[in-house]
């Protein structure tokens, strides 16, 4: 799988988000279903704003704060 760079679209699939975060696709789905990773479910597929995923990498405490709520 190719690395995500600035040329990718601003919306990521579960696979792309998992690849970027270096976690499993199942973990991305679990976190999205629990509301820890903001995204939108379109039909049966999740989509995530690229800037949201980038913010999780830049500020991992954001995910920790979401878990505390």
pLDDT of the residue at 55: 87
CA distances in angstroms from 47 to 53, 55, 68, 69, listed in the order given: 11, 16, 24, 23
pLDDT of the residue at 31: 93
pLDDT of the residue at 9: 74
CA distances in angstroms from 62 to 9, 10, 33, listed in the order given: 23, 20, 17
- Residues 33-54: pLDDT tens digits? 999 899 999 999 999 999 999 8
Element (H, E) at 11: strand 11-12
Segments making up each domain of the chain, as ranges: 9-43
């Amino acid at each position: 799988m190719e690395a995500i760079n600035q040329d990718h679209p601003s919306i990521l699939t579960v696979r792309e988000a998992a690849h970027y975060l270096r976690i499993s696709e199942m973990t991305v789905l679990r976190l999205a279903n629990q509301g820890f990773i903001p995204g939108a479910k379109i039909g049966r597929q999740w989509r995530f704003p690229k800037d949201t995923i980038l913010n999780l990498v830049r500020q991992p405490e954001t995910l920790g704060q979401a878990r505390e709520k």
